[in-house]
Structure 1
């Protein structure tokens, strides 16, 4: 699974489109420096989902949108759009220069990286990205092995790079492209995050174990607890059997006791009511006594009033009989008052006799109720004694009833639960303690057979291009790179570093496509053949290429029939005869003459 590049188009308001038509073919873009060749490669990378925007130059001002048209291995035509200002993206079916109306049905845009991974067979692959962590093979991994700007082509860094955060990922993704096998079956060690999490879990387990051990009885084991619970179960079973066999007698006694308890409450309530009534009668008797004392005083005072003669007012000398307030102060009125007091005293005395009789009756009733209450309580005690006598014959005769036995069993069950929890926590603690230990991630990928195939193809390509002195090519799994004659590729001069890298990535692409492994389906290389003719490169002590290598490289590019696209960006112009055989675009620069000035129309 792969893609074919069809067209690269950069547009802007009021700007003439800048485009290259690849049409699924291998392609050559050449011309002098500062004509936009680097912008082309950066645009391809950006159009395929990279976050890095193409670097602006003096001709790119005003261009705001990039469209990359491509075709899938299944023949599906797609266009990837990227905004050069805000970085937004869209994926549309068909070939378009600008996004069509309604290009995003339902308002759910597809992500370029996701679509690209699906088109290139990477979405189902899982690779090791760091110790203890796997992720999906991403579009960025595929771009790394397909797109090479001038610096990367001639760099002194191996293909795996020098970023320690990406070394593991690069090795894993390179192995998937080479062999087609991912790291799904790889046994992972604990990642740093998992180790930290495991350490926290161990601390939490220790705290819980301390709590459990503090509340567990000393020197107790699960076997002891199970034995105690078995004994309790036996006693509970025996007691339940006894209760079922004596159920009728017990129920009769309990019903009688309930009746007696109701009778106790009734008698007690009646006695309380009579006692309260007697208390009120006592208060009434005290009031009668007070009233009699008052009436006796009135009678005595009235009986002696006629002995005293009326006296005038000591202030005004007014006779008593003349004063309106004392018109009743006649001797006969005092006699009447004394008579009335005697009559009232007789009435109250009569009431006192009746009240005393009522109090006596209440005392009799209270005494009778007290006797009844005593008898009922005695009967209740006898009932309880009968129940105790019945229970004395039961397995619970030691005073431990069914409820107490059930409570004891529950307590032992909780102890057993805590013991089981302790066993589980101890095992888990051991497991997580192992996770806290830092271990080296072991990776064993079988790449030998595929590596030999790729190396043979590299050697064949270098021979076809006329690169001298290549006797052996080996795969360097650690650096995901190659060795030529037992030397690392990056140990050679610029010219050989570039041509060796080109042969490597072309051979890797062809092998991946033939084997059905994940790959973009094309490679784009800037400055693959640096020769003595190129004044931009070269310098004292550099191992550059003979001019014939470039000619033979272009001959190979013109005649190439293998799968995959090879897009070359170079300063050097091939011969006119070869140029007619290679799909190409020439940038003539600012030197004048007829032709295209650069990637951007001037």
Structure 2
């Protein structure tokens, strides 16, 4: 997609006439005869229109330049003499132009294959070369900028006229414009369409097609031709509600199951932790008890030593092994010098051991209490885990299985009903095609070829996008938009756009082109990426002997206010340029790229118009 950045008029010895635009929403408002509408004519001229009708103030300017950017931030500038002729293309901004540039034609003539604005600008916008059917015989032509001009360049007359926004003024050659809309909506062109054939060949082809259609209809007729089958309920509201209810219940059960599983995992972790603690406590108790036994053994040994020291006095008098003297009482190496210290040492050591043993007994009691506590905690966790597993396996699992099975049954039923609906619609389409073929074969002369229209799916999504735009604009009630393939225009709430007054026709035209732009951007369809709308809120008045049929039909003030508010939210990926006599609300003007042409009464800090002149330029 592409966007306009600058529009410039240049002439020798003249101050440049320059207007800049940005991504998203742009509003150019101002007094009448200030050159606003002339800007749209400049865009149309640079895109290949044959002639640029210059207003008096613009006649001295010799060249028009328009600078474009695309989604890849690349730049291309097209320059064309205001008198007409070829276009020069530069792949740089206006400020960097030098040399002669690439010479291209505004449009191709005859069988020319040379470069033109379409062949340069559409690839720049990411739109591939395409072919569109141009007549009932199946001949094709190029998809060009000129083919879709009315879908992105909307002047102040067309916006309120009763003509189709797609085909413009009624002509005999509007097939390509109709197919262009289909190409934008689907992204599929008519490259494979073959030109018309001889009468006999066409009839033979139609008969073969009729035979195939009849063969395809046979099983469907058996199923859908009876009136009873056609009255099968197609309202799936109750079924969808039940599916939604079961889906919610299944999600709740799954959430409960996950919570129980998480609690089970936590309980298992706590059991493992308790087992680890019990193992440590029991190991420590075992060691403490061994230590207690060791203390008992030590005390017994000390008692023996203490008692044995009394027997030193009863020993016989024998020579002292130290001095070889008789060990009489009072002898320095005698028994009475050894027994007393040994007994005292044994008693002191026993007292220490008794103290240690008292502490050890207290520690053993504490460990035994802790052991009982941990065993109690483990038993509680074991009970909880068994309860969780029971709830999971006996209660929750069966409910999950039942709900899942019931949901699958309902989804299968919904799928079957949807398949039936699709087949019924296919049967109706085939019946219509059968009738069309029979009608073509019954006609005298060359039978008309049967061409597919715009696919209903894409057409429905396009209408839904227009409905969304109208809802943003506070259209009365809930808008219902349909597309009439006979008039190639929209019907809103059952009333054709052409049947409204001028003001409402303008609003609906604007909703159509903005909806198409949003649809194309959202679905990556072949659209230039910008729209320029002149006076969507101001009913056109008689000017230069031009009149527009129909009632004035002023728009609702709430719609106008909502229009500006919605415009301010335009995505930066696209570009919407609104040219208006009406000034937007102050708070809205601050949220868009807003420019005001003050006209003859312009103050020193205001811009008079597009052309830099002291007198106000003509529109």
TM-score by length of 1: 0.55
Secondary structure of the residue aligned to 2:54 is coil
CA contact (8 A) 1:473 1:484 kept: yes
1:446, distance to aligned residue in structure 2 (A):
4.2
2:569 to 529, 537, 559: 559
* 2:516 counterpart residue number: 508
Q: Does 1:476 align with 2:512?
A: no
* 2:374 counterpart residue number: none
* 2:93 counterpart residue number: 95
Q: Does 1:489 align with 2:497?
A: yes
1:438 to 429, 443, 446: 446
1:154 to 151, 154, 160: 160
Q: Does 1:144 align with 2:155?
A: no
Change (3 A) 1:600 1:41: same
1:102, distance to aligned residue in structure 2 (A):
4.9
1:122, distance to aligned residue in structure 2 (A):
4.3
* 1:599 counterpart residue number: 610
**Counterparts of 2:589 and 2:548, CA distance in 1:** 25
* 1:423 counterpart residue number: none
Secondary structure of the residue aligned to 2:134 is strand
Q: How many residues are matched?
A: 358
* 2:259 counterpart residue number: none
Per-residue Cα deviation, 1:390-413 (whole angstroms, up to 9, x for no partner): xxxxxxxxxxxxxxxxxxxxxxxx
**Counterparts of 2:459 and 2:503, CA distance in 1:** 24
Structure 1 range deviating more: 95-104 or 552-561: 95-104
Structure 1 residues 19-58: aligned runs within 5 Å:
19-53=18-52, 55-58=53-56
Structure 1 residues 265-414: aligned runs within 5 Å:
none
1:143, distance to aligned residue in structure 2 (A):
2.4
Per-residue Cα deviation, 1:158-213 (whole angstroms, up to 9, x for no partner): 12223423311111111101111111233432499x99xxxxxxxxxxxxxxxxxx
1:25, distance to aligned residue in structure 2 (A):
3.4
* 2:588 counterpart residue number: 578
* 1:271 counterpart residue number: none
Gapped regions of structure 1 (runs ≥ 5): 196-435
* 1:456 counterpart residue number: 464
**Counterparts of 1:190 and 1:593, CA distance in 2:** 68
* 2:133 counterpart residue number: 128
**Counterparts of 2:551 and 2:155, CA distance in 1:** 23
- Which structure's CA Rg is the greater one? 1
1:480, distance to aligned residue in structure 2 (A):
3.0
1:442, distance to aligned residue in structure 2 (A):
2.2
Per-residue Cα deviation, 1:319-371 (whole angstroms, up to 9, x for no partner): xxxxxxxxxxxxxxxxxxxxxxxxxxxxxxxxxxxxxxxxxxxxxxxxxxxxx
Secondary structure of the residue aligned to 1:82 is strand
1:121, distance to aligned residue in structure 2 (A):
4.5
Q: Does 1:169 align with 2:188?
A: no
Per-residue Cα deviation, 1:558-599 (whole angstroms, up to 9, x for no partner): 122264111000000012222122202111111343411111
**Counterparts of 1:140 and 1:486, CA distance in 2:** 31
Change (3 A) 1:74 1:541: closer
2:531 to 523, 531, 535: 523
* 1:77 counterpart residue number: 75
Secondary structure of the residue aligned to 2:68 is strand
Change (3 A) 1:439 1:549: same
Per-residue Cα deviation, 1:460-518 (whole angstroms, up to 9, x for no partner): 21121123256310012233321112222111111110111111101111111222221
2:598 to 579, 588, 595: 588
**Counterparts of 2:24 and 2:595, CA distance in 1:** 13
**Counterparts of 1:530 and 1:30, CA distance in 2:** 11
1:49, distance to aligned residue in structure 2 (A):
2.4
Per-residue Cα deviation, 1:20-49 (whole angstroms, up to 9, x for no partner): 111333211111211111110011111222
Change (3 A) 1:542 1:97: same
CA contact (8 A) 1:586 1:596 kept: yes
Secondary structure of the residue aligned to 2:185 is helix
CA contact (8 A) 2:163 2:170 kept: no
Per-residue Cα deviation, 1:225-261 (whole angstroms, up to 9, x for no partner): xxxxxxxxxxxxxxxxxxxxxxxxxxxxxxxxxxxxx
1:547, distance to aligned residue in structure 2 (A):
2.3
Secondary structure of the residue aligned to 2:57 is coil
Change (3 A) 1:601 1:562: closer
* 1:12 counterpart residue number: 11
Structure 1 residues 136-285: aligned runs within 5 Å:
136-159=142-165, 160-190=167-197
Secondary structure of the residue aligned to 1:518 is coil
1:547 to 557, 572, 577: 557
* 1:296 counterpart residue number: none
**Counterparts of 1:21 and 1:514, CA distance in 2:** 26
RMSD of equivalent CA atoms: 3.2
Secondary structure of the residue aligned to 1:100 is coil
**Counterparts of 1:166 and 1:184, CA distance in 2:** 18
Q: Does 1:467 align with 2:475?
A: yes
1:106, distance to aligned residue in structure 2 (A):
13
Secondary structure of the residue aligned to 2:195 is coil
**Counterparts of 2:151 and 2:57, CA distance in 1:** 29
CA contact (8 A) 1:526 1:569 kept: yes
TM-score by length of 2: 0.54
* 1:416 counterpart residue number: none
